[in-house]
Structure 1
Amino acid sequence: MSLADVVRKLSNVQVYGPPYGEFTVARILKESEGRWTPVFERVGEGFTGVGNIVDTREKLYSYLGVKSDEEAYTKLLNAEENPANLETASTWRDMYREVESLYDLPMVRYYEREARPYITSGVVVGVGQSGVMNASIHRFSPIGARRAVVRLVPRHLYQIYRSAVEKGVEVPVAVAWGVHPLVLLAAASSPSFGVFELGVAARLMGGLKVVELENGAVAPFMASVIVEGYLTRDMAEEGPFVDIVGVYDRVRLQPVVRVERIYVLREGAYVHYLLPAGLEHMLLMGFEKEARIWRAVRSVAPRVRKIRLTRGGFGWLVAVISLEKSVEGDAKNALLAAFAAHPSLKIAIAVDSDVDPEDPVAVEWAVATRLRADRGLFVVPYVRGSTLDPVALNEEGLTHKVGIDATRPLDADPSLFERARIPG
């Protein structure tokens, strides 16, 4: 299924047309997130743009065919552990046209200090020397008609790239832009090294076809744009760019992609504009981590009610865990399990089941009325956290983490903690 097919099935869509100012797309994405899905007609020759396709749980759960957090977490984690085989599309080239330059693609800038236009939702498929493939989302920006710089963080594609550099070879890559939302979800996840994320997507979708490119990489069939090329040993400045925490990431030297071919769907070429630090960015990046926290916390505190990576923590750095304690210590064990499940997590808060983790006022109320700092607050010093944390102690994300047990002490009178309610 193409992205165009997905958009046709969405409700509450609002259509926009040219002319587009430099930051028009970004402004509309910001004002519409969590409210409606914007479609941008004629953003380029033969292109339509769309954004906020995964900005709410309701949309994500509809794609997954589930109705609850538990169903969604289970389905995603099971897909990571049992990826499906991919089917190769036998004929596909007639459905695509080739364009000569990256500048023919309708990339945009999102924030005023960003260095250049970006693809922010590109699924990069890299091929390792052993034939292992990895699919992950990386920001991608042109520095020439057939050259681009891509930001690699120390995860699986980086591992593939460093191994290739040591051997003096290049990494075949495909960059797919404008793909099914579940391909994005799978590519934003972190299964074990060697598990191909497109196989995870295939399991979630009930099957996925791919196209085989001349460089040996594959890309999802019906992706609106497929860029074929190689990760080279050349480096170029990347950034500044706004990352998930909503601040400008530092400028770094990052690998250059040498582009060989650029394919675009002849019909229905919908490109996906993902607003950095927006709700869609948070949900895609954090949802699988939330699922991992859920599984880890349930192993030490079985009566878990709800888990959320918070909006204030940009869906990445702060987690709130609602649970029912059986004995004192359950909450602290849950917090430690959360840190182990999501190493980038900086702050974890445990609350009782009567507190909704999605309500920041309720969470703050729990901290104000149920936290005893002498026994409910702890710091984990000098551990690796997130490289996105602006106050990390080094570029590897070394930090101190904070756990907050804001649950009611079991040895206290429960009536002292009952929330007053007005009847009727």
Structure 2
Amino acid sequence: MTAVHRAVLEAQGPVLQFDQPLIEQDRLSDIPVVVNLFGTKERVAAGLGVTPDGLEGLGEFLAALRAPTPPDGLRDALSRWPMLKAALATRPKIVRSAPVQSVVHSGAGVDLSTLPVQTHWPGDAGPLITWPVVVTRPYSSEPENTGRYNAGVYRVQVLDRDRLIMRWLPHRGGAAHHRSWAQRNEKMPVAIVLGADPATLLSAALPLPETVSELTFAGALNGARPRLVPAKTVPLYVPADAEIVLEGWVSATDTAPEGPFGDHTGYYNPAEPFPVMQVSAVTHRNAPLYLSTYTGRPPDEPAIIGEVFNRLALPTIRAQIPEVRDLWLPPAACSYRIAAVSIDKRYPGQARRVMMALWGMLPQFSYTKMIIAVDDDIDPGNWDDIAWALATRMDPSRDVMMLENTPMDYLDFASPQAGLAGKMGIDATTKIGSETSREWGSVMHTSDADMAFADKLVGRILPELRK
């Protein structure tokens, strides 16, 4: 299934549904598997409730959530009404019955082997849930206070018929909540939502401010209040219209080796201990669907989502670093390991200041091992433009900045130590003022009049070039 999925994704093909997935030998599942939901940037944008052209507006909304400013007069207040309406829509609507609880298996009736959870790569340790929305809350909160919930997309390994392994890294919200329960030696209630609506799933992956609940923010994307229902066996509320929910308790102390599994780097990551979840109930719709994906060397769905999130992050970045004009995180570089940024350069040393600001701004950039800064006449998303800037505006002895012992994704096997690595900043901007003692050359440009003449003449000689 992974091989079929990857071939269709690389061809920018449609969403796929496997009607009768083979679980083992002759045993078929009656739960269809859906993959490639986010296989194109257009489908990711649709999941966020906008067209690709509307991503900039949504990015500005996210930037305003991080640093809201008071309305400046009536005109500005009215212009902010769509944001206010979206914010109000995040208040959840609590219901007492829900499609996701049409069928309930609890206690001895729980059997995770009935779910068509994929084993994606030949070297994988076993079945791996790849699109779970994991819902948690901190120890000090009440179940009704959904504003304090965290919803994150983590890797979940199926251990046996009623146990799972939760792979959440220490800096993620779910891990922070787990620590708050473990410090009191208490197990933590968890709900794993499988087949959440696209807005909820993407909200769980978005880098939202810590004060904004991912679960309820989906209401802003959908333009409607999210419907939540009390879980059957844990003190949590869950999305009422999801396909499947796994309820249970994560131990304060029990761990099991998770992995190895193929990861977004294109390598298998080693097995490591992570907390164990005891599943207390499985609830689902009548005739549910199981949503799945794979992670591997790009392209994959997370890389495509990362390209869209890159565009969403631009307004937030510009609000903090106004001289930034554009930013590109090449998907082939595992989405965030390399960044190219174009700036409106005005003073010596500005490129280095921007690079250091990016590394310290968002948690995602702490894992970016190389930043290439270019002028605003360079398209940072065009490797040919970047190569020309590197070849003509960068001197290795002067324009390369090296840092040591900085945070790094521990899955980066190139790092000398797990979790610690160097960073490189390359200043490929035009050198001005005290940055150089030479007179800089002038970039060649064809005049507008000559370009217009050429376009008109070529259009007459080779009309097919105009198509």
TM class by smaller structure: 0.7 to 0.9
1:136 pairs with 124, 137, 152, which one? 152
1:149 pairs with 165, 175, 200, which one? 165
Structure 2: distance between partners of 1:142 and 1:111 = 15
Structure 2: distance between partners of 1:80 and 1:52 = 31
Alignment TM-score, normalising by the size of structure 1:
0.85
2:405 pairs with 376, 379, 382, which one? 382
Contact 1:301 1:331 in 2 (8 A): no
Cα displacement (A) at 1:297: 4.7
Q: Quick check: 1:227 aligned with 2:232? A: no
Partner SS, residue 276 of structure 2: strand
Contact 1:371 1:407 in 2 (8 A): yes
Cα displacement (A) at 1:298: 4.9
Cα distance change on mapping 1:95 and 1:127 into 2, 3 Å: closer
Equivalent position amino acid for 1:225 in 2 = I
Structure 1: distance between partners of 2:375 and 2:31 = 49
2:295 aligned residue: 276
Partner SS, residue 37 of structure 1: coil
1:251 aligned residue: 271
Contact 1:322 1:352 in 2 (8 A): yes
Alignment of 1:298-313 (within 5 A): 298-302=319-323, 304-313=324-333
2:185 aligned residue: 168
Alignment TM-score, normalising by the size of structure 2:
0.77
Cα displacement (A) at 1:87: 1.6
2:127 aligned residue: 117
Answer 1 or 2: which has greater strand percent: 1
Q: What runs of 5+ residues in structure 2 fail to find an aligned partner? A: 22-28, 68-86, 142-147, 433-438, 459-467
What are the superposed Cα offsets for residues 33-78 of structure 1, whole Å, 9 maximum, x if unpaired? 2511232232454422222222333222233314155324223444
Contact 2:56 2:311 in 1 (8 A): no
Deviates more, 1:269-278 or 1:241-250: 269-278
Contact 1:293 1:338 in 2 (8 A): no
Deviates more, 1:32-41 or 1:231-240: 32-41
Partner SS, residue 401 of structure 2: strand
Structure 1: distance between partners of 2:208 and 2:390 = 34
1:210 pairs with 201, 224, 228, which one? 228
1:187 aligned residue: 204
Partner SS, residue 37 of structure 2: coil
Write out the 4+ residue segments of structure 1 that deviate beyond 6 Å after TM superposition: none
Structure 1: distance between partners of 2:140 and 2:392 = 56
Structure 2: distance between partners of 1:209 and 1:223 = 10
Cα distance change on mapping 1:94 and 1:147 into 2, 3 Å: closer
1:7 aligned residue: none
Cα displacement (A) at 1:261: 0.6
Cα displacement (A) at 1:194: 5.1
2:215 aligned residue: 198
| Bigger Rg, structure 1 or 2 | 2
Contact 2:129 2:158 in 1 (8 A): no
Contact 1:79 1:200 in 2 (8 A): no
Query: How many residue pairs end up in the alignment?
Result: 396
Alignment of 1:256-271 (within 5 A): 256-267=276-287, 269-271=288-290
Q: Quick check: 1:105 aligned with 2:126? A: no
Cα displacement (A) at 1:386: 2.1
What are the superposed Cα offsets for residues 93-116 of structure 1, whole Å, 9 maximum, x if unpaired? 685223531111111111110100
Partner SS, residue 234 of structure 1: strand
1:10 aligned residue: none
Contact 2:243 2:289 in 1 (8 A): yes
Contact 1:29 1:38 in 2 (8 A): no
Deviates more, 1:115-124 or 1:290-299: 290-299
Deviates more, 1:353-362 or 1:239-248: 353-362
Deviates more, 1:61-70 or 1:269-278: 61-70
2:93 aligned residue: 87
1:18 aligned residue: none
Structure 1: distance between partners of 2:99 and 2:127 = 27
Structure 1: distance between partners of 2:101 and 2:250 = 26
Cα displacement (A) at 1:80: 6.6
1:317 aligned residue: 337
Q: Quick check: 1:57 aligned with 2:41? A: yes
Contact 1:301 1:325 in 2 (8 A): no
Cα displacement (A) at 1:151: 0.6
Contact 1:226 1:263 in 2 (8 A): yes
Deviates more, 1:224-233 or 1:404-413: 404-413
2:79 aligned residue: none
Cα distance change on mapping 1:51 and 1:360 into 2, 3 Å: farther
Cα displacement (A) at 1:244: 1.7
Partner SS, residue 31 of structure 1: helix
Contact 2:15 2:39 in 1 (8 A): no
Cα displacement (A) at 1:209: 1.3
Equivalent position amino acid for 1:415 in 2 = V
Q: Quick check: 1:403 aligned with 2:425? A: yes
Cα displacement (A) at 1:139: 1.0
Structure 2: distance between partners of 1:315 and 1:218 = 33
Structure 1: distance between partners of 2:166 and 2:114 = 18
Contact 2:63 2:319 in 1 (8 A): no
1:330 aligned residue: 350
Cα displacement (A) at 1:370: 2.1
Please give the root-mean-square deviation of Cα atoms over the aligned residues, in Å.
2.7
Cα distance change on mapping 1:320 and 1:209 into 2, 3 Å: same
Cα displacement (A) at 1:179: 1.6
Structure 2: distance between partners of 1:361 and 1:211 = 52
Cα displacement (A) at 1:363: 2.2
